[in-house]
Amino acid sequence: MHLDLSGKTALVTGSSQGIGLAIATGLARAGARVAVNGRKQSTVDEAVARVRAAGGEAVAAVADVASEQGAADLAAQLPEVDVLVNNLGIFGAEAPLEISDDEWRRYFEVNVLTAVRLTRTYLPGMTGRGWGRVLNIASDSALVIPAEMIHYGVSKTALLGVSRGFAKEAAGTGVTVNSVIAGPTHTGGVEDFVYQLVDRSLPWEEAQREFMRLHRPQSLLQRLIEPEEIANMVVYLSSPQASATTGAAVRVDGGYVDSIVP
């Protein structure tokens, strides 16, 4: 299957590293002009260079999209996009009864409202042109709420609802809106998270196995997912070949969620 996004502009939020960078690279390799987003010019420039080195076209889109002003700044830099990937998110372990109101609000603001604002910004242009893709990067934690980060799981559950609702708004327009449910994925941030929960003296491979055994035993893959594996699904869902998939929550979770449907 040849996935061709030539002539399309894609925006991937939080794409200076990790899953976001892998997605940006995958979209660029498929022919899209990709806007790499982050808060710092230096890290964004470095990520743009990495995408270009992989053979893709990339531009910098520096903005703190977790705020209303940041989203407006980004829209001024990039008035139209054909593919919007709402990847930006925060996570971390915290005792359930110790999560403050302010922390609950922060997770909702970053993990949910950021996607809402940008979808509200770019969806009208997509529907007006009769083609577009909105992808929200969710998590297995949306369906299997982890005790050690309830606030994160609930924010990702809300994101699934946001995706379904905007898919209905875009019905019949040629624009699709979907969620990608990512399972436990190997990124630098996840390495830090793993070491919050297992012995920091363990070598990484051993720490990863211990984390999966103790905290993610449901995984059928029995390893962390690589960011490129998430990116592969995003590139497909961004392509013309995925035209009949909308309003869906598509799992790339290594079989972690113990269900035959989302």
Among candidates 85, 87, 76, 75, which has minimal Cα distance to 8? 85
Residue 163 near residue 232, CB atoms below 8 Å: no
Q: CA dist 51 to 91, 103, 237, Å?
A: 25, 34, 20
Residue 18's contacts (CB-CB under 8 Å, 6 or more residues apart) are 185, 187, 188, 189, 227
- And the tokens for 127? 């529907």
Does residue 256 have an active-site annotation? Answer: no
CA atoms in the 13 A half-sphere facing the CB of 97? 0
Among candidates 176, 193, 175, 187, which has minimal Cα distance to 229? 187
Residue 262 CA from chain centroid, whole number: 17
CA atoms in the 13 A half-sphere facing the CB of 99? 20
- And the tokens for 258? 């113990």
* Set 107, 152, 236, 256: catalytic member: 152
Among candidates 21, 9, 56, 15, which has minimal Cα distance to 38? 15
Q: Which residues are catalytic?
A: 152
